[in-house]
């Protein structure tokens, strides 16, 4: 994996490594516009990123449906899906939850699907529309390809190794316990941390004087992404990061040349 290769380049023994992220093969469908709000992060977003993330999630749903041999048409019809392909939004959400009850469906994805396939009168309370084109959803879901490996950041990119090496030096010179700091930022015992909190902790609390670029933050979050967690529809990639693996690697990466070990 990327993390194993990176550790090997440092001359380290390998330990257990979290799964690598997967991405979907874009389907070429019409652009889906999703409202973005980037107030809580410095990483840029946009319609193209949101579209790619939506496609990735739909691709994963397709794989799940295939693996479980789901008859989605039957499920939606059993939940009052009409012959004209329309269903009320509440019943659509119920049917979606039933169909993918073992899948980590999250509210952001359900809302995005309901909005994309929404129809009928506007929903004055929840936004979007009161009804959903359930049959169109089923048809388009089958048009997605199974997830494929994305073009990942090069773990041998000296830019990443140098940055992590410099962060190790800063940590040691300041007596910083990186693992403790990331736990304090919300890191869970299972080693997972919400990406937005991870970025905020690195840039404003732990290394406030270090010059992080958006590209560097994106690459770190991609390398240490929790690919088993929810997809980030707004920014792309995944919503969670393996903070403990990152902290452990910071302690192991060689110090900058000329620094005392």
pLDDT for 232: 80
Residue with tokens 């910083």: 176
Tell me if 126 sits within 8 A of 107, measured CB to CB.
no
Q: Which DSSP symbol is given to 23?
A: B
Of 203, 192, 201, the residue nearest 241 (C-alpha): 192
pLDDT for 36: 28
In order of their start, the domains of the chain are 2-22+150-252 (1.10.238), 47-141 (1.10.238)
pLDDT for 260: 55
pLDDT for 41: 34
Mark the ranges of the chain whose per-residue pLDDT is less than 70: 1-50, 147-156, 233-234, 258-261
Measure the CA dihedral 117/124/234/41, to 10°.
180
Q: Which two tokens stand for residue 83?
A: 């012959």
pLDDT for 29: 32
Q: How far apart are CA 95 and CA 20, in angstroms?
A: 30
pLDDT for 151: 52
Please state the φ and ψ torsions of residue 130, each to the nearest 5 degrees: -80, -20
pLDDT for 8: 66
Report the phi/psi class of residue 127: left, alpha or beta, with left for phi > 0 and alpha for psi in -120 to 50: left
Tell me if 24 sits within 8 A of 147, measured CB to CB.
yes
Q: Inter-axis angle of helices 214-223 and 2-9, to 10 degrees?
A: 110
Q: Is the pTM of this model over 0.85?
A: no
Q: Which DSSP symbol is given to 20?
A: P
């Amino acid at each position: 994996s990327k993390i194993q290769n990176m550790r090997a380049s440092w001359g380290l023994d390998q330990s257990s490594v979290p799964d690598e992220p997967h991405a979907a093969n874009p389907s070429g469908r019409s652009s889906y516009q999703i409202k973005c709000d980037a107030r809580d992060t410095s990483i840029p977003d946009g319609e193209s990123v949101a579209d790619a993330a939506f496609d990735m999630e739909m691709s994963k749903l397709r794989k799940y449906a295939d693996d479980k041999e789901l008859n989605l048409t039957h499920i939606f019809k059993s939940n009052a899906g009409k012959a004209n392909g329309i269903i009320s939004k509440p019943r659509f959400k119920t049917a979606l939850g039933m169909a993918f009850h073992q899948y980590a469906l999250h509210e952001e994805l359900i809302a995005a699907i309901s909005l994309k396939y929404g129809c009928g009168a506007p929903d004055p309370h929840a936004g979007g529309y009161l009804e959903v084109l359930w049959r169109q959803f089923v048809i388009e879901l089958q048009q997605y390809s199974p997830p494929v490996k994305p073009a990942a950041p090069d773990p041998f990119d000296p830019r990443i190794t140098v940055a992590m090496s410099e962060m190790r030096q800063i940590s040691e010179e300041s007596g910083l316990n990186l693992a403790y700091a990331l736990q304090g930022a919300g890191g869970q015992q299972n080693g997972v941390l919400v990406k937005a909190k991870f970025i905020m902790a690195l840039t404003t609390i732990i290394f406030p004087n270090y010059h992080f670029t958006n590209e560097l933050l994106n690459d770190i979050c991609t390398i240490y992404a929790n690919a088993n967690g929810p997809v980030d529809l707004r920014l792309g990639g995944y919503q969670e990061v393996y903070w403990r693996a990152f902290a452990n690697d910071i302690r192991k990466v060689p110090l900058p040349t000329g620094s005392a070990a």
